[in-house]
Structure 1
Amino acid sequence: MEAVALFSFAASEPDEISFQKGDVVKVTEMEEDSCWFTAEIQGKRGFVPENYLYLLPHAWFAGSVSRLEAEQLLRWQETGVFLVRESESAPGEFSLSVSYGDRVEHFRVLEGGGQYCIWDKSFCSLNRLVDFYRTHSIAVERVVRLKDPPSSPQLQPHPGRNPYPNPYKSTSQESISSARRLSPPSQPEREPSARLPKPVVEKPRLAHALCDYTPSHTAHLHFRRGDVIDLLDCSDSLSWRGRCRGRVGIFPPEYVQLLFH
């Protein structure tokens, strides 16, 4: 996975690597509940702080492609070729469309509390779900493992919105340059060869909804794209607690963008 450096970083430990703002960094590992990525830069591998980077959208994320368009794109592709798209029937959620060679199957990605699943196994992000089904069959009646689509532009007619927004930039790719003008966030502390839970860089009190979130769980907070949410508790990396339209509930943090004062 590639990322763009929003800020320059000077390594302070032997197992960290330095980079300059604007550099393209290859992220090779993202540990759960950690503020450090394992990355590779010019053949050297080491730890880099997560909050200094902006993850680029995956090639397999097709954005607002419809079910019919997905079938037209994937039909007769090699078995396992896939794309992830925004769900038509459940706004704010995702569907995974997979070529079976002679037909296309669609899987709804269920989400709750920041966890994503198709069957009984849950994952903390879409990319972890995709990576799992690259080595495990997503089908029950036959073996179908996900594989990257060909580099043909016909497979992706619409650039997808990044499902992993960075709090230091807007959802627009063009605003990366403005994000670089911000002061670097506090560098997370770590012991050599040990990654620690991500500290709070600032204490934002508000968040902006990037899309609709209408879960069936009564404990979850319902909101619409564009709503401003009062943040009450952001201590859990998988689900935050907030207030919107007079209601209080939890919601996945990837659905909002933090608003800093």
Structure 2
Amino acid sequence: MSRQDATDLLMGEKEGGVFLVRDSISIQGDYVLCVREDSKVSHYIINRIQQNEQTKYRIGDQVFNDLPSLLAFYKLHYLDTTPLIRPAPRKVETVIAKYDFDGSDQDDLPFRKGDILTIISKDEDQWWTARNVQGQTGSIPVPYVQKFDSQQGITCVTQSLREGHSPTTGHIEPAKRTNVQRKLPAYARVKQGRVPNAYDKTALKLEVGDIIKVTKMNINGQWEGELNGKVGHFPFTHVEFVDSENNDGIDDS
């Protein structure tokens, strides 16, 4: 869960002291304690440290043997304006398939129109990780599904599916992941604008038509490159490579 996702979730709670613990994005292995305090959400870093072959957890100047001990301590002591009152409810998001999807990669999760899937993580703009009712997990194309609200009833879902287009009549194909080994660095043109989260200092701001010098293609879909003198990462779904024969106007310097 990102910092912004945690903030949005906790700001939806009405009382202070509601909390959750998420993985740290900036330091692998560390955690972040996120707490609703007054009219804001505070994020406290929890460092995982090794002491005499033992793993301990440090928050501020306090050190604990494990996370349950840390949480128990702050249920009795204030962080800033409140102790920990209760954990935030886990938000479960489900989607329903609009079309059949057979999958083409071993990491894909095939499904049929009408299947209900639970979202595990939103890894990319066009590809998410989901779980089906059999407990199988894998990648699914976002344009093939839509949000499913069980409170709206099956009737509404069935009606929306009947009104939907079939895969052969103009639905939006997802930008398919590519395994092409392209010689880097290479140039790519931005086809979809993006304003990154204010807390993500390493993300590049994209404007349609920008030319990015791609330096690394990560399998998680977050590529790395250089744009306007800044080095950072960006979703591969927002760009398309500029073929060498079409490099008119690109300065290789």
- TM normalised by structure 2 equals 0.36
Higher relative contact order (CA 8 A, sep 6+): 1
Larger Rg: 2
- TM normalised by structure 1 equals 0.35
